[in-house]
Amino acid sequence: MSATFVGMPAFPEAARAALADPQLRHNLAHATDTIRRKRASVVAEIPEWEELRLVGAAVKDSALRSLDTHLVELEERLVANGAVVHWARDAAEACAIVAEVATRHSAEEVVKVKSMVTQEIGLNEALAAQGIAAWETDLAELIVQLGDDLPSHILVPAIHRNRAEIREIFRTKMAAAGRPAPDDLTDDPAALAGAAREHLREKFLRAKVAVSGANFAVAETGTLVVVESEGNGRMCLTLPDVLVSVVGIEKVLPTWESLDPMMRLLPRSSTGERMNPYTSTWSGVTPGDGPQEVHVVLLDNGRTNALADDVGRQALRCIRCSACLNVCPVYERTGGHAYGSVYPGPIGAILNPLLKGTGVDEQTDSLPYASSLCGACFEACPVRIDIPEVLVHLRTKVVDSHRGDRVLKPEAVAMKAAAFAFSDARRLALAERASGLAGRVIGRWGKTRLPGGRPAAGRIPGPGAAWTSARDMPAPPKESFRAWWKRTSGGRS
């Protein structure tokens, strides 16, 4: 059974641990570099890419702006197509619905298509508590599940593992979960994929109940869409008698035609392919083909909180392509675990606080700061989510929600001090002189050097500690601009 994220430390602390792991940094740098290059080359093939991004954003916005109407329409169409529709306010309700369906069919196990939302609601753990085994069938999910590990990437949850580590996990863990790995298993990716094929095939053939998510839910036609690569999705969506799909309410697309821009944007942004190997669409029950009992669970679990935030609601446009993770300089160095959530990287840094609310727990509150605001995520995002804008907005919300605290957030302390100094020219001159002095001291202590050779302080004591515990602070220059101007008569002497 997979580990959980519950009780993860706040981002700066978790990042420190991740940064100290050279194997992890190597695996991540290699993988993100590969995917960035692939994405860039297939995006360059499409001259209308920027226009397509605008349309992608507009399609999702139009779905979200009348979400209530679309949800009602989706439900109507699904029911007319023979599906059973459930609504779940939160994770516990959604898990209970899935468990009830499985129990009614006396299923002791379910096969699962990779889905972010079922991880979000902790479905595997909830089913295990009822004595139902949930088998992950996506290769990366299988690696994570067998390794008793945590996912670290939206698309490739085992991105932090290299082939040698994967071979070790298969050799030592597969036997306990079913068909063992072959004795002569090598670390050749094709051999590893072959071992997963053999291991999972018996599970696909005997499963009675499958659980999936959906990439899109078309309101007008009651159609669900699953985008995948390996065929494990097709197996789960086709072979079992019963299919339960858990779908976040933001997955709605208004019309069948609106699938077009999405299917042009998603694969290129995600795996850097012109098209992913397999996409399945189904509209309820098809007599004589596939599951004859089809359930759809429409899930809120904080999405309406995000929707109520007029700046943050754009995050609900997200199609989980993971392009923003792959281009993020912070993600590339810390990996996904440091974000303490199934949604890591830039999108996780905004989505988690939007879903859970700010001022509730320290871990979530630390996420909007896990960014240098460089903007690479916005450039890469196929639905143009302005992640830096939302990050800044959420930082204000975090600080606001701590205004009543006895101990102020370091940002609040710094801003108070700055306001005091800047409001009076003499005070500012004094502060600058103090800073120059500190620069000389820190410059002498500074063991760290920033790129470019400028000396930096590691952790400094006192009120600055909270800031520098997670950042290298450049040593202040020895002379302030004001002092330099005076000394050189504005650079003339």
- Which residues 188-217 are close enough to bind other proteins by CB under 8 A? 189-190, 192-194, 196-197, 200-201, 204-205
**With CB cut-offs between 5 and 8 Å by kind, which of ligand SF4, other proteins, none does residue 314 bind?**
none
What phi and psi values does residue 409 have, to the nearest 5 degrees? -60, 145
Q: Which of 8, 35, 110, 123 is the binder for other proteins (CB under 8 A)?
A: 35
User: Which partner in ligand SF4, other proteins, none is near 55 (CB below 5 to 8 A by kind)?
Assistant: other proteins
Site residues (vs ligand SF4, CB under 6 A):
269, 318-324, 347, 380-383, 385
DSSP state string for 213-276: --SEEETTTTEEEEEESSSHHHHHHHSSSEEEEEEEGGGEES-STTHHHHHHHHHHHHTS-SS-
Of residues 4-33, which lie at the interface with other proteins (CB under 8 A)? 27, 30-32
x/- string (CB under 8 A) for other proteins, residues 93-132?
Answer: x---------------------------------------
Instruction: Name the minimum Å distance from CB 404 to other proteins.
Output: 25
Question: According to the binding rule CB under 8 A, does residue 174 interact with other proteins?
Answer: no
Q: How far is the CB of 357 from ligand SF4 (least distance, A)?
A: 20
Window 306 to 335, contacts with other proteins (CB under 8 A): 307-308, 310, 313
Determine, following the binding rule CB under 8 A, whether residue 246 of this chain makes contact with other proteins. no
Binder among 234, 320, 337, 409 for other proteins (CB under 8 A):
234
CA atoms within 13 A of residue 305's CA, in its CB half-sphere: 13
**Of the candidates 286, 372, 396, 488, which one interacts with other proteins according to CB under 8 A?**
286
Binds other proteins (CB under 8 A): choice among 44, 51, 362, 465: 51
* Residue with Cβ nearer ligand SF4 (233 or 346): 346
Total number of residues that touch other proteins (CB under 8 A):
99
CA dist 414 to 365, 406, 465, Å? Answer: 18, 15, 12
C-beta atoms surrounding 276 within 10 Å = 18
Rg (CA), the chain: 25
CB under 5 to 8 A by kind: which of ligand SF4, other proteins, none does 340 bind? none
Q: What letter does residue 348 receive in the DSSP assignment?
A: H
Among 110, 123, 211, 298, contact with other proteins (rule: CB under 8 A): 298
Residue whose CB is less far from other proteins, 103 or 281: 281
Residue 292 binds other proteins, judged by CB under 8 A: no
Instruction: In whole angstroms, give the CA distance from residue 324 to residue 383.
Output: 11
Name the minimum Å distance from CB 262 to other proteins.
Answer: 9
Cα separation, 68 vs 346, in Å, equals: 28
* In the complex, least distance from residue 28 CB atom to ligand SF4, rounded to whole angstroms: 17
- Contact between residue 355 and residue 249 where contact means Cβ atoms under 8 Å apart: no
Nearest to 377 by CA among 332, 310, 337: 332
Number of residues written out for the chain? 493
Alpha carbon distance 471, 12 (integer Å): 9
Q: 82 with 225: CB under 8 angstroms?
A: no
Q: Does 380 bind other proteins (CB under 8 A)?
A: no
Which residue lies nearer to ligand SF4 by CB, 35 or 78?
35
Q: For ligand SF4, which is the closer residue by CB, 88 or 347? A: 347
Residue 389 C-beta: closest distance to ligand SF4, Å:
12
Residue 467 binding: pick among other proteins, ligand SF4, none (C-beta 5-8 Å cut-off by kind) = none
Strands ordered across the beta sheet of 473-474:
448-449, 455-457, 473-474
Number of H helices, E strands in the chain: 23, 13
CA distance 180 to 142: 13
Residue 406 per-residue DSSP state: S
234 binds, among ligand SF4, other proteins, none (CB under 5 to 8 A by kind): other proteins
Residue 244 has, within 13 A of its CA and on its CB side, a CA count of 31
**Of other proteins, ligand SF4, none, which one sits near residue 380, judging by CB under 5 to 8 A according to partner kind?**
ligand SF4
